[in-house]
């Protein structure tokens, strides 16, 4: 018996002699124990673009808010229910818990790398810093005040909420600091950068364009500061038609375009969405050349479903085959929106060069050509009195707001931001007692897991976590 026992114990003794502690037995040899910083950055880019692109009603309903899409059956989303699903929670988690955490860890690992060329390190940190500003700005423009100075800190389990305007000002400082790190003469993140393939020069333009965008968001709240920011950005160099911030998707899950996951018959049999009557009717009236790239036809016509009411799927136009293709790219930012911003800047008296009409024409032309139309079609469209800048109805906000809303058809979250900022087009809720949300309510997890700071944030809102309370820059 002793001999048998020794034969059993001896291999165990020899085995344990090879490890320092019992924890060594818990290593999964098939999983990486550390993630490279470049991989974390790539994952953050994909997480960010996925959440602002997906039409999944559990994560992103902004296409409904701006009446680009309508539903066939379920009415909670186009009637602005924020409690029937967890989309505030899922949007929050995607940006705050996942994207920003990945970016923070990526920066930490890069800073620890003593062997990395200093110029390359600066470029990597600068690009990640710009992406952080973009991501934080998305959170603020969605929720308002959020945890910031104590966020993503393992020692701060109950992070306080910081005032949205204060965060915004700090983000602008961080954006300048990140831009100052960039040197186009050196390498950066290479193929891990799925937007620009490591081109630092293009990230400089993206960062300047983000400054332009953030400056214009302040224009009604603080015109003097907005003017300074916008003029700085325009002088430093902005995105051109060759610099659209495109995220490439591939044909197979999970790296296909999230729109295809929810609408393409290859991935789903659901028929939940049609395009809304408001945008279809407006584009029909204008004979807009983007319609075949935006919508399918019913017979030989483009027909929008009634917004906020049930619609029979077969009777109405749907998002086009182009939009639901698995490989169709998503946009962080593009040249068309930059030109719309510059048109507005000219109207506000900011020194950015050119005329409002020229920038407006450039914006619309860029949108039409991007979607597959021609410059000739764009010219004909712009000659219509209801489109031409000199003769289109309303103030500059109405002219720009109406056309920008059309151009942002596949970018519901950005369209929602611009609709709140410009107050055009005029959108009518489906029922008289409803109001289109101007902010997202905080996720339920904040009320249960971060209760005291959440209560303080709610008090700052006036005692109610309401979707009808405007973000600080939304003063009109």
Mean pLDDT, residues 196-201: 98
pLDDT value at 264 more than 60: yes
pLDDT value at 242 more than 90: yes
Structural domain boundaries in the chain? 37-252+328-460
Query: pLDDT tier at 34 (50, 70, 90 boundaries)?
Result: confident
pLDDT value at 76 more than 80: yes
The pLDDT tens digits of the residues spanning 341-350 come to 999 999 999 9
Mean pLDDT, residues 411-417: 98
Query: pLDDT tier at 5 (50, 70, 90 boundaries)?
Result: very low
Q: What is the pLDDT of residue 31?
A: 47
pLDDT value at 3 more than 90: no
pLDDT value at 388 more than 50: yes
pLDDT value at 10 more than 70: no
Q: What is the pLDDT of residue 90?
A: 98
Mean pLDDT, residues 186-197: 98
Mean pLDDT, residues 397-405: 98
pLDDT value at 23 more than 70: no
Query: pLDDT tier at 293 (50, 70, 90 boundaries)?
Result: very high
Mean pLDDT, residues 377-399: 98
Q: What is the pLDDT of residue 15?
A: 35
Percent of the chain residues past pLDDT 90, beyond the cut: 92
Mean pLDDT, residues 425-447: 97
pLDDT value at 2 more than 90: no
Mean pLDDT, residues 248-268: 97
CATH 1.25.40.390 fits domain 37-252+328-460: yes
pLDDT value at 7 more than 90: no
Mean pLDDT, residues 188-192: 98
pLDDT value at 414 more than 50: yes
pLDDT value at 275 more than 70: yes
The pLDDT tens digits of the residues spanning 113-135 come to 999 999 999 999 999 999 999 99
The pLDDT tens digits of the residues spanning 40-50 come to 999 999 999 99
3-class SS letters over the chain: CHHHHHHHHHHHHHHHCCCCCHHHHHCCCCCCCCCCHHHHHHHHHHHHHHHHHCCCCCCCCHHHHCCCEEECCCCCCCCCCCCCCCHHHHHHHHHHHHHHHHHHHHHHHHHHCCCCCHHHHHHHHHHHHHHHHHHHHHHHHHHCCEECCCCCCCCCCCCCEECHHHHHHHHHHHHHHHHHHCCCCCCCCHHHCCCCCCCHHHHHHHHHHHHHHHHHHCCCCCHHHHHHHHHHHHHHCCCCCCCCEEECCCCCCCCCCHHHHHHCCCCCCCCCEEEEHHHHHHHHHCCCCCHHHHECCECCECCCECCCCCCCHHHCCCECCCCCCCCCCEEEECHHHHHHHHHHHHHCCCCCCCCHHHHHHHHHHHHHHHHCCCHHHHHHHHCCCCCCCCCCCCCHHHHHHHHHHHHCCCCHHHHHHHHHHHCCCCCCCCCCCCCCCCCCCCCHHHHHHCHHHHHHHHHHCCCCCCCCCCCCCCCC
pLDDT value at 140 more than 80: yes
| Average pLDDT over the chain, rounded to an integer | 93
């Amino acid at each position: 018996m002793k001999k048998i026992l020794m034969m059993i114990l001896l291999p165990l003794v020899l085995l344990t002699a090879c490890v320092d502690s019992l924890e060594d037995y818990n290593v999964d040899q098939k999983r990486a124990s550390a993630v490279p910083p470049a991989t974390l950055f790539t994952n953050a880019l994909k997480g960010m673009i996925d959440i602002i692109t997906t039409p999944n009603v559990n994560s992103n309903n902004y296409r409904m808010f701006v009446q680009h899409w309508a539903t066939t059956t379920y009415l909670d989303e186009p009637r602005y229910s924020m409690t029937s699903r967890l989309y505030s929670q899922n949007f929050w988690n995607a940006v705050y818990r996942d994207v920003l955490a990945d970016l923070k860890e990526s920066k930490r690992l890069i800073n620890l790398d003593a062997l990395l060329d200093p110029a390359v390190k600066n470029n990597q940190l600068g690009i990640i810093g710009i992406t952080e500003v973009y991501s934080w700005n998305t959170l603020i423009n969605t929720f308002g005040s959020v945890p910031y100075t104590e966020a993503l800190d393992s020692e701060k389990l109950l992070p306080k909420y910081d005032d949205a305007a204060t965060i915004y000002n700090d983000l602008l400082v961080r954006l300048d600091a990140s831009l100052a790190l960039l040197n186009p003469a050196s390498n950066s993140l290479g193929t891990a950068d799925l937007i620009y393939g490591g081109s630092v020069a293009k990230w400089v333009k993206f960062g300047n364009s983000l400054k332009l965008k953030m400056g214009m968001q302040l224009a009604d709240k603080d015109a003097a500061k907005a003017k300074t920011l916008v003029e700085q950005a325009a002088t430093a160099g902005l995105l051109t038609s060759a610099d659209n911030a495109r995220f490439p998707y591939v044909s197979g899950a999970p790296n296909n375009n999230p729109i295809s996951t929810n609408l393409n018959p290859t991935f789903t049999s659901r028929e939940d969405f049609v395009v809304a009557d408001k945008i279809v009717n407006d584009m029909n009236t204008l004979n807009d050349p983007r319609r075949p790239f935006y919508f399918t036809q019913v017979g030989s016509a483009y027909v929008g479903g009634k917004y906020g009411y049930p619609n029979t799927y077969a009777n109405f136009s749907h998002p086009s085959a182009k939009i639901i293709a698995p490989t169709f790219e998503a946009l962080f930012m593009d040249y068309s929106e930059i030109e719309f911003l510059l048109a507005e800047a000219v109207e506000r008296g900011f020194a950015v060069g050119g005329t409002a009409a020229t920038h407006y024409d450039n914006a619309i032309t860029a949108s039409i050509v991007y979607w597959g139309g021609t410059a000739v079609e764009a010219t004909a469209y712009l000659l219509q009195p209801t489109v031409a800048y000199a003769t289109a109805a309303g103030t500059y906000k109405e002219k720009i707001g109406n056309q920008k809303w059309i151009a942002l058809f596949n970018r519901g979250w950005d369209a929602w931001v611009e609709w709140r900022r410009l107050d055009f087009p005029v959108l009518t809720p489906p029922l008289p007692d409803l109001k289109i949300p101007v902010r997202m309510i905080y996720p339920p997890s904040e009320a249960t897991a971060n209760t005291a700071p959440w209560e303080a944030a709610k008090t700052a809102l006036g005692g109610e976590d309401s979707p009808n309370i405007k973000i600080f820059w939304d003063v009109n």
